[in-house]
Structure 1
Amino acid sequence: MVGLLKKTTGLVGLVVCESLHEEPDVKKLEDQLQGGQIEEVILQTENELSLARKMMRWKPWEPLVEEAPDNQWKWST
């Protein structure tokens, strides 16, 4: 990328991404995604990928090993 377009994200602990893939106009990309700053989108995507990998191990689509208690899925009021 030809120089950074911004020096800070303005968000504590979130540094400016220096290696965007094939998109030199960061502002245009952020406007297209409508998901906040590109660094936020990258962080969210990494978190979703991490969850997807965990779900592959957990296999939540498979039947339960044992029957759930009767009140397991009820919200208390």
Structure 2
Amino acid sequence: MLRHLFVAKNFGVPTLTSLRNFPGRDAKWCTEMYENLYVLHHQRARDKVSPDFHKKTTGLCGLYVNESPHKELRLLYRRILRVMDMIPAGNQYRVATEEIVKHRLSLVEEEPDIQKLEQKIGMGQIEEVFQQAEYELQTIRLYIQFKCWEPLVEQAEEGQWRWPIAPGP
């Protein structure tokens, strides 16, 4: 069915044509994507920025402007810290991640201006920082699920942890 929407016969030779050339029965299919809930969600997310906000777009495909990043980052960073409590205290990943998250949480609580906060964090736009925090939370949950702090089941091969990879003596 899809093939006949994009290919029309021109004297027996299939050629690409525009969708507007097809009869009315196919015209409904052409507009269905605009009724798709996924498309509508992204259009609403894109269009919901208030007119007096300092930016209308992030300039990144699929990453929409967040008008309340302080509130959402605060909640997300606190959630990360709560989940980190499930990892043993001496674990190096936990120590390093907690240090970064606590530092960023303090910056979020201290700096009310979004643009200055972006500069202080130094990791791009605030929406990118929020996305990074979401990915970190997913990583922590996987880290806990697979108990990555436990010792290996069997001994690692000789030289597996040596870097750079080069033939040894």
Q: Which is helix-richer, 1 or 2?
A: 2
5 Å-filtered alignment, 1:64-75, equals 64-65=152-153, 67=154, 70=157, 73=160
String of CA shifts for 1:13-32, please: whole Å, max 9, x gaps: 11011222266521111111
TM-score when scaled to structure 1? 0.74
The aligned residue for residue 53 of structure 1 is 141
Q: Which runs of 5+ in 2 are unaligned?
A: 1-49, 71-108
Structure-1 separation of matches of 2:122 and 2:156: 42
Contact 2:69 2:127 in 1 (8 A): no
Identity %: 50
Match of 1:12 among 61, 69, 72: 61
Q: Which runs of 5+ in 1 are unaligned?
A: none
Q: Which structure is richer in relative contact order (CA contacts within 8 A, separation 6 or more)?
A: 1
TM-score when scaled to structure 2? 0.37
Name the larger-Rg structure: 2
Structure-2 separation of matches of 1:34 and 1:70: 39
Q: Which is strand-richer, 1 or 2?
A: 2
Residue-pair matches, total: 75
